Amino acid sequence: MLRRSAVTAGFALALTLVAAPALAQQGPGESATPYTFAEARAKVAATAAKPSPGLLDAIRRDLGGTGEQAAARLINEAAAAKIEPALRGQLGAAYAGAWVNGPTSELVVATSDSTKVASLAKSGAEVKLFKHSLATLEAAKATLDGLVSSAPKSVPSWYVDVRTNSVVVLAGDVAEAQAFVNGSGVDASLVRVEASQEKPTPLYDVRGGDAYYMGGRCSVGFSVTRGSQGGFATAGHCGTVGTATQGFNRVAQGTFQGSSFPGNDYAWVAVNANWTPTGVVNGYSAGILPVNGSTQQVVGSSICRSGSTTQYRCGTISQHNTSVTYPEGTITGLTRTTVCAEPGDSGGSYISGTQAQGVTSGGSGNCTSGGTTYHQPINEILSVYGLTLVTGGTNPPPTGCTGYTNTYTGSLTSNANAYQPGTAGYSAAAGVHRVCLDAPNGTDYDAYLQKLSGSTWTTVASGTSSGPDEAFTYNGTAGTYRVRVHAYSGSGSYTLGLTRP
């Protein structure tokens, strides 16, 4: 269920708070959390697999700190991702963002409503009080997104920075950027123009993870399936629909089935019977890393990238929902990170812990002097093409839910939750929603269709039998919906089928 919020304070007020007793669990609207951030950490620590020494070494190398701090960072980041949806839901219009800080990734949450601070502090996170809500900042950024055709070439990127409570516009020419902002109609108090030498370009030569060839050289992002067809996600600038690929060994591999660039930077390749998708990432010096799901991590979390030029590198998440202007055009909806990359790393895997995050799009700088990189979030790719992420190491998720418009996958431990196609849900017209859940034999997984009412998610239909599989329909009015998947007992990978009206 959703957890009760924790909020942070930083506008004119900064509070460091201690964990309070757990808050009471509420009803089906799920506007509260049944445990504090400290308890969320404890649950993660009790159920999470031990991180590989290679992963801890890579985090220590690129982010500093001790091995103990690296291990604590991973636990805290997973706990933050679990509790953040509840904070967002409870605060509603007053939500101003969340991120993690420091060598052990302590949770910080912001609100624009001073009356929320005292009650939300009980979650045990640091609380910040800001002037602007996240919705206000995202609306301002959306206005800039609508003006991409008039954006100066000297403006490489703009994004909502939750840590400074502003929309940041990076600028090679500050005067040009300021003129762009002034002419946009956006409230100037919401925007900070920052001088920048960034000149992002797509990284064409080699594309992360294991290499593949298509006239040039790219790399696999993440293994996926669509029905019984296997394949992988990668960057859109790697190839167009119909482009044939060869694997790292130059053996015939597959064909691009979908590709979008610019505007987006995603694609997927269907492979032939000689290739078997597996739920792992080649971490090079860190070893072979399992992929257990695709929960988006919060700003400040550690994230690592696999690419065949610079291999396995780590950094942190700077911002989500970033708009980036390449010479070919503007890409929206990317995630900005501090992971270094070099030409040839595009298309490869971004992974945080065991959670797939996205595929390499582009960036600036290098792994000698440092730089900034951007990735296309994996959940958008899965949703657009109706793909299922292959998880659980070499074990793909169940494939029982067929014939649905969209399929999603993930991996849960007992008593955990996931939200598909994401915590923000999807827009739907009036009509019938069809939901199917396929979980591992011997488990008891449940599915709940939820509708957003104001700032609260309310369950409107559900499948809660005692077995692993559920299927139901719901005839609803137009609105915003999502599906909550709950592991009542047992653990493992699941597949969710969804047809929306």
Consecutive H or E run containing 80: helix 67-91
Q: Across the chain, which distance is largest between two alpha carbons, in Å? A: 63
Query: Number of helices (H) and strands (E), helices first, in the chain?
Result: 7, 33
φ/ψ of 43, rounded to 5, equals: -65, -40
Residue type, 36: T
**Catalytic hit among 346, 352, 361, 493:** 346
Spatial contact of 417 and 1, defined as CB atoms under 8 Å apart: yes
- Please name the residue that has the structure tokens 């919401």: 190
The one catalytic residue among 132, 133, 237, 462: 237
The residue annotated as part of the active site, out of 62, 265, 345, 469, is: 265
* Residues listed for the chain: 501
Cα-atom radius of gyration of the chain, to the nearest Å? 22
Rounded CA-CA distance 127/106 in Å is: 11
Whether residue 462 lies in the annotated active site: no
Give the containing element (helix H, strand E) for 129: strand 126-129
Q: β-strand 106-111 against 126-129: which pairing, if any?
A: parallel
Beta bridge partners of 280: 290
Is 457 within 8 Å of 85 (Cβ atoms)?
Answer: no
Query: Do 335 and 79 touch, CB atoms closer than 8 A?
Result: no
Cα dist from 347 to 56, 213, 362, 377, 419, whole Å: 24, 12, 9, 11, 26
User: Chain-centre distance of CA 386, in angstroms?
Assistant: 17
- Active site annotation includes 318: no
**Residue 302 parent element (H or E):** strand 302-307
Residues 6 or more apart whose CB falls under 8 angstroms from that of 263 comprise 329, 330, 331, 332
Determine contact, residues 405/445, Cβ cutoff 8 Å: no
Cα 255-337-64 angle, rounded to 5 deg: 125
Cβ 439 vs Cβ 486: under 8 Å:
no
Q: Which two tokens stand for residue 202?
A: 């797509």
DSSP secondary structure of 378-391: HHHHHHHHT-EE--
Q: How many CA atoms lie within 13 A of 481 on its CB side?
A: 27
Catalytic status, residue 346: yes
Q: Which burial class, exposed, middle or buried, applies to 9 when counting CB atoms under 10 A from its CB (0-12, 13-18, 19+)?
A: buried
Residues known to be catalytic: 237, 265, 346
